[in-house]
Structure 1
Amino acid sequence: MTATAPATPAELRRLIAAGRWTGPTAGLLDGYQQANLVIVPKDLAYDFLLYCTRNPRACPVLAVTEPGDPVIRLGGTVADLRTELPRYRVWRHGEQVAEPTDITEYWREDAVGFLLGCSHTFEGPLRAAGVPVRYAEESAAPPVYVTRLPTRPAGRLAGPLVVSMRAIPARLVPRAVEITSRYPAGHGAPVHIGDPAVLGITDLARPDFGPPPVVEPGDVPVFWACGVTPQLALPAVRAAYTITHYPGHMFVFDHTVDAGPDEELPLAARGGP
């Protein structure tokens, strides 16, 4: 069920918790910080944090919960990770078992939640600067591709880099790079511009996740690191459980990307390579 588009992140999260919003968050609430979710057992949390710090473009860490505590607290945002994202994915021993809209029954006492920056964050600033963000009519989300580029492994975690793509008019590509580089908490500047084959993408029209791209004459494909990256690394560990957001169905903070939270963001949100 999807209600009328909310006016604030807090209103969106209330609708989600009440089961009245189950759709994607892409294109909603321009200017507010959106985030990917990863929940792992405590015995995997250090490896995952290390994986994030070694791959900050794909996994910019915004916040981490205490083990067993489902509540995220960052600046003015206080929210329950079990109920305030529109949809989730649940794995057991590396096999996906559910895509629920509430993970209360899957939460464990040793669970550690991570919120990672998301590229939906910079789409509002792009639009405000006159850079078009084109999506297929059936989905307000970008196409996503698995590349042949490896991420830096950490402990038990390893896997390929995943990227999202937005087709940008050639004359506006420098502007898009300038704008997105200001938002390391939203994956920052592109990781590649131009020929998809350099990334091992053989058919741009057939993404691994999400809808096909919308490319108009004169556009150039521009690729950003994507928060789906850990969803390919985690199943191979075959942990007792892992939980993530459903692609495109993100957590939305109360602070804007330009104002930031009331307290300093940690790790990659302060910058990075």
Structure 2
Amino acid sequence: MPSHAAFHSFGTAAGLTARSTAHEVRAAARAGLLSAHTSGLASDYVQVNLAILPQALATEFQRYCERNPRACPVLAISEPGSPALPSLGPDIDIRTDLPRYAVWRDGVPVDEPTDLAAHWRDDLVTFAIGCSFSFEHALLAEGIRLRHVDEGRNVSMYRTDRPTEPSGAFRGPLVVSMRPMAAADAIRAIQITSRMPQVHGAPVHFGDPALIGIRDLARPEYGDAVEVKPHEVPVFWACGVTPQAAIAAARPAFCITHAPGHMLVTDLLNRDLVTA
């Protein structure tokens, strides 16, 4: 695994920034030079969460996603055993093109490899699920500051007490991502993201986190904590880590997901997901 310093060296040399292309980010991951989270990289391009399951579970999981479209908006599904997602990019290889993955056994993550060479199987089906990182570009373009991007952190993510609609063994709580904002920015963010339903759409909650079962904003279940300043309100969006909570409940013998915050960057453009 490359060191943190190696990542920054590569990023400086090759221009891995918000202005990078999706291909450049995938190439860095494929070469083993990027193992950090993808928030703030290639901000023109759609980022997706992944859930990779055996074919025997694919129909049940697809139904779970269809019943919970805010948290699990499916953008593409692979053919069984294929590492390609041609509708998201002609050269995508799911086995290598994410910075980091999570390998699950019996509903528990047991490894976080940087490629899937040792884990790939011919019966695996990949689900690409919309990610809130995609709408961040639209927020930044409107001058809305995002603290986790400014600080180079992963976004804060929390399990709530809101249940999702189950499908067979797949069930569990809604997971949300949180961004602190001034009230005026929060109102504008709601307007902007409501036009992007394929990447979670409008927030599901803002204000008191206790109302959705979050006890301590300083202790997210996933990602990094960021400060919520006295003049700010926490704003919560449905999060593509929700399927991981459902996988934990279903306890499949084997599956793979992205590591939280480590997304596949596709060739789709964020602006093309904006509805009228």
Normalising to structure 1: TM-score of the pair?
Answer: 0.91
User: Does residue 200 of structure 2 align to residue 187 of structure 1?
Assistant: yes
- Mapping of 1:1-273 within 5 angstroms? 1=2, 2=7, 3-4=10-11, 5-6=15-16, 7-74=20-87, 76-135=89-148, 139-259=152-272
Where structure 1 has 5 or more consecutive residues not aligned to the other structure, the ranges are: 261-268
Maintained 8 Å contact 1:70/1:81:
yes
**Partner amino acid, structure 1, of 2:136:** E
Change in CA separation of 1:107 and 1:164 when aligned onto 2, cut-off 3 Å: same
Maintained 8 Å contact 1:136/1:213:
no
2:36 is paired with a residue whose SS is coil
Q: Deviation of residue 105 (structure 1)? A: 1.6
C-alpha distance in 1 between matches for 2:152 and 2:81: 34
C-alpha distance in 1 between matches for 2:191 and 2:222: 27
Alignment deviations for residues 1-44 of structure 1 (CA, whole Å, 9 cap, x no partner): 31214321111111111111111100111121000010000010
Alignment deviations for residues 143-176 of structure 1 (CA, whole Å, 9 cap, x no partner): 1110000000011110000000001111222110
2:268 is paired with a residue whose SS is strand
1:21 is paired with a residue whose SS is coil
**Partner amino acid, structure 2, of 1:79:** I
Count how many residue pairs are aligned between Structure 1 and Structure 2: 263
C-alpha distance in 2 between matches for 1:90 and 1:210: 17
Q: Which has the higher helix share?
A: 2
CA RMSD of aligned residues (A): 1.8
2:25 is paired with a residue whose SS is helix
Q: Out of 49-58 and 70-79, give the one that drifted further.
A: 70-79
Where structure 2 has 5 or more consecutive residues not aligned to the other structure, the ranges are: none
C-alpha distance in 2 between matches for 1:33 and 1:136: 16
1:91 is paired with a residue whose SS is strand
User: Structure 1 runs of 4+ off > 6 angstroms?
Assistant: none
C-alpha distance in 2 between matches for 1:96 and 1:220: 32
Alignment deviations for residues 81-140 of structure 1 (CA, whole Å, 9 cap, x no partner): 000000000012223221000012211111000010000001111011011111187643
Aligned to 1:265: none
Maintained 8 Å contact 2:105/2:254:
yes
1:74 is paired with a residue whose SS is coil
Alignment deviations for residues 198-232 of structure 1 (CA, whole Å, 9 cap, x no partner): 10111122211121122223111100001111111
Percent same amino acid among aligned pairs?
50
**Partner amino acid, structure 2, of 1:196:** P
